[in-house]
Amino acid sequence: MAAGTRQDSDPVHDVLRTEREPLQAFFSPRNVAVIGATDKPGSVGRTLLRNLVDSPFGGAVFPINPRRPHVLGIKAYPHLAAVPDHVDLAVIATPAPTVPGLIGECVAAGVEAAIVISAGFKEIGPDGLQLERAILDQARGSGLRVIGPNCLGVMRPISGVNATFAAGMAGSGHVALLSQSGAICTAVLDWSFREHIGFSAFISIGSMLDVGWGDLISYLGNDPHTQSIVIYMETIGDARSFLSAAREVALTKPIILLKAGRSEEAARAAASHTGALAGSDEVLDAALCRCGVLRVDSIAELFDMAEVLAKQKRPAGPRLTMVTNAGGPAVLATDALVRAGGKLAELPPAIVDELNAFLPPSWSQANPIDILGDADAGRYVRTLQVVARDPDSDGVLVILAPQAMTNPTQVAEKILPLLKEMNKPVLASWMGGVSVMAGGALLDQSGISAFPYPDAAAKVFHQMWQFSENLRSLFETPSLADHAADDARSGQQVRLILDGVLQRGRTLLTEWESKRVLAACGIPTVETRLAGDEDEAVRQARDLGFPVVVKLHSETITHKTDVGGVELDLPDEAAVRAAYRRIRAAVARRASAADFLGVTVQPMVDLDGYELILGSSIDAQFGPVLLFGAGGQLVEVFRDKSLALPPLNTTLALRMMSRTRIFRALQGVRGRPPVDLEALKQLIVRFSNLVVAHPRIKEMDINPLLAAAGHLTALDVRIVLHEPSLQDDALPRSAIRAYPDQYLSRWVLRDGTPATIRPIRPEDEPLMVRFHETLSERSVYFRYMQMLQLSQRIAHERLSRLCFIDYDRAMALVVERRDPHTGVDAIVAVGRLTKLSPWLAEFAIVIADAYQRQGIGSELLGRLVQVGRDERLRQIRADILPENLGMQRVSEKHGFRLRAEQDGRLIRAELNLA
């Protein structure tokens, strides 16, 4: 039994869709109304109407003006209800206070899309924010989507739509521009005319009252006219929506982002090591890395990268080889490459020998390969032929500076066939003015990006590698993480501890309470005992065995070392008594006697290892953010850290560790054995799960986390909770949706076989390979409506995408059973619900042939329908082949309505939930 569209039959998501996309009315409207159209020279209303009329899009334009019968010679209407035809898109340019009422008129008229050009909303303060809320109240539940307010508008050059007040229409091309700034839009538009750059879409997004980054990225991801997306961003808005859409689309189309505001003046969490280290701009970098988006530093780089990524192969590594006829430019390019984090390729001896055979003796003998100022086209060609065979090079930069002996155009003509055949990316820098223009233009027009300066080209190569590395990480298959810490019992233990602290009116956990939280989640801690008086401290120390550590026990003091609250390596009872008294006196002197509640006693741990920090804090844009790096008392001095967004799997945990300098030491240096990196990855995953599962946690630091060859131990931990007055629905949420374990449960097949139904995990790829090996040709055809070979279905790129899903965009439930004889788990069925819009989703189900007629299809579909209800969808649908009678019966059982489509070649099953 199987059902579904061709939605995941190949890497480009061949989705069958018969109705218009939810945002289609913005880009291909049939009729447009301009509310606020006027004849007044220089006005926004006049410019909007003129631009729409002057760029025919195949539909009608209706001016709306209650005081004029005609505007620009076109019949005008007093209000939207008077328009004689259906309006798809309304463009509003009237004073801000009038807009909520006009949105209400749009809803009443069945308008699908509205662009609010008007300013005067939240940018002016509380009154403007109230107007925005009024707009949302009018539009809520209607299906009307709104771009703006305070925006330039939308252009779609390929369909002739120019719903903006810009000075001209953008040229047609394959790059989509999204900008939060209308001024940036107009500047880029003017620049594009000079540079002959065209656009598939040109969108000023404004204040993002409704339509945001995620909506537009999703639309453009399915747009056949868009090859790449460039973004100018000022604020992230709905971080979860942005990351969810970007991660999906970046797999097939480059997304390049320029974000304003790299300043270090972002807010700091004063009491948290993690908060002090995690600046919001660095958090954005971590988020973009997670979803495969490339960040650049200038508007020029936005379009350079869009062009290069469209033309060039992706580099397999970071190593660049340079071929030049001038040493100085190559040195500049090398500096730029290394500063950006890239590296030069080292020439193997065999390659050097080949070059020695024909280059002058004074050539550089290393990379950059300086073939000297008298190099002609032939010398360039022979050198590049050798470089093309170098297995240690991941990309090539060809530099030419004008010399009397060098003909720039001839060199370009001669090397061009060779460059186009290379199996690695190739960039060029034809330096100079008029003399090199023809050669540079020839390369550019032939698909080889030519830059006027070599340092810019070198930086672009490194950005290409960053982009490739980010995308590669999305396809990596993680090892199976230890999920024992996520069971209900450990979660209940943690909740009891946290609730107990909040009920006593506190938000700061003591060290003893914090270590109990870690222990409940399977994170190893040093044994810690409470002592309320001096004699108890001695008894606990005697029981644990000397030497011991004595620390302040307080419900109010954050950092114990700041008040003299830590005494180390105490060898006997007398030392413990003296330490107890010193701590009590120090606290009374530096804080108050009321802050001293006794001490904790711990065994003295051999510190022959590495002190690490593992922490979490709240970022204003992205919610919880994780930090890993070198720890200890000087953590904020060395600042060796890496950031990531939870939740993590083991692959992402390893990537997070690898971005720190201390990671190299953890692998073993100078004869010291390596740390158990597998155990450290698992620990980080458990920590990540703890942060996501308990949003009441505001800040958490394990510092130091002692990492040695034989063990990992949390020596000190600090946990701060959000204020009890903060309601659950107001708690910061993770920007990346956590594993939805609420959909995990046991189940029994009709024949009594026990099974587990659960959401799919990235670690399931090997199980999915074995599952596809069990499917018959009939089951494959019913599922995908075409015959896909096994090699296509189990390709790593495809399966990794289907297993490593974003649970905000799709839900895949697998039925898993364990072989009682071998103890091996196997997936026997998969059900998938994929959102096509915020209100519409498709389902698809496929069941292994040996497990059909066991009630699995009905059970999976029922659960997918419940997921749809939980997600507040309005409709679920699927396409079913006419001969697939079993799935038709199952669909009808769950209330789906069936109808024939495409002349009876498909059966459409639809269930309305709203």
Lowest-pLDDT choice from 186-195, 420-429, 824-833: 186-195
Beta-strand ranges (E) seen in 794-893 are 810-818, 825-835, 840-847, 875-880
Distance CA 178, CA 703 (A): 42
Mean pLDDT across 864-869: 96
φ and ψ at residue 160, rounded to 5 degrees = 85, 10
Mean pLDDT across 816-826: 85
Question: Is the pLDDT confidence value at 6 over 70?
Answer: no
Distance CA 555, CA 558 (A): 8
Question: Is the pLDDT confidence value at 536 over 90?
Answer: yes
Contact 62, 34 (CB under 8 A): yes
pLDDT of residue 222: 86
Which of the four pLDDT bands, split at 50, 70 and 90, describes residue 265? very low
Question: Is the pLDDT confidence value at 159 over 80?
Answer: yes
* 212: enclosing H helix or E strand: none
pLDDT of residue 262: 61
pLDDT of residue 804: 80
**Interval 29-58: pLDDT, tens:** 999 999 999 999 999 999 999 999 998 888
Distance CA 220, CA 367 (A): 41
**Interval 702-726: pLDDT, tens:** 999 999 988 899 998 999 999 998 8
Mean pLDDT across 244-252: 86
Mean pLDDT of the residues in the chain: 88
Sequence-distant contacts of 20-23: CB under 8 A, at least 24 apart = 21/219, 21/222, 21/837, 22/145, 22/215, 22/219, 22/837, 22/838, 22/839, 22/840, 23/113, 23/145, 23/211, 23/215, 23/216, 23/219
Nearest to 886 by CA among 855, 843, 913, 840: 855
Lowest-pLDDT choice from 541-555, 734-748, 841-855: 734-748
Lowest-pLDDT choice from 188-192, 350-354, 617-621: 188-192
pLDDT of residue 263: 53
pLDDT of residue 17: 33
Which of the four pLDDT bands, split at 50, 70 and 90, describes residue 266? very low
* Number of H-type helices and E-type strands within the chain: 30, 39
Nearest to 94 by CA among 80, 112, 108: 80
pLDDT of residue 194: 78
Lowest-pLDDT choice from 94-98, 672-676, 830-834: 672-676
- In the numeric block, which tokens belong to residue 479? 């090892």
Nearest to 145 by CA among 69, 90, 78, 198: 90
Question: Is the pLDDT confidence value at 484 over 70?
Answer: no
pLDDT of residue 12: 27
Q: CA triplet 162, 165, 169: central angle to 5 degrees? A: 40
Nearest to 205 by CA among 226, 188, 184: 184
Distance CA 142, CA 29 (A): 18
DSSP code per residue over 510-566: PHHHHHHHHHHTT--B---EEESSHHHHHHHHHHH-SSEEEEE--SS-S-GGGGT-E
| Chain length of the chain | 914
Q: Give the predicted TM-score (pTM) of the model.
A: 0.82
**Interval 514-532: pLDDT, tens:** 999 999 999 999 999 999 9
Residue 888 identity: Q
**Interval 609-628: pLDDT, tens:** 899 999 999 998 899 999 99
Residue 881 identity: L
**Interval 117-130: pLDDT, tens:** 999 998 888 998 99
Question: Is the pLDDT confidence value at 16 over 50?
Answer: no
Question: Is the pLDDT confidence value at 655 over 50?
Answer: yes
Dihedral class, residue 441 (left if φ above 0, else alpha if ψ from -120 to 50, else beta): alpha
Nearest to 123 by CA among 38, 63, 206: 206
Mean pLDDT across 486-501: 83
pLDDT of residue 475: 63
- Provide the pairing of β-strand 2-3 with 840-847: antiparallel
Contact 443, 408 (CB under 8 A): no
Question: Is the pLDDT confidence value at 477 over 90?
Answer: no
| Beta-carbon contacts of residue 808 (< 8 Å; ≥ 6 apart) | 240, 241, 244, 737
Which of the four pLDDT bands, split at 50, 70 and 90, describes residue 756? very high
Nearest to 88 by CA among 144, 43, 25: 25
Nearest to 324 by CA among 459, 461, 458, 441: 458
Distance CA 304, CA 310 (A): 10
* 854: enclosing H helix or E strand: none
**CB burial readout 201-221, b (16+ within 10 A) else e:** bbbbbbbbbbbbbbbbbbbbb
- Provide the pairing of β-strand 153-156 with 161-164: antiparallel
Residue 438 identity: A
In Å, how far are 166, 187, 479 from 183, measured between CA atoms?
10, 6, 47
Nearest to 451 by CA among 463, 436, 464, 466: 436
- In the numeric block, which tokens belong to residue 899? 């109808």
**Interval 410-426: pLDDT, tens:** 999 999 999 988 999 99
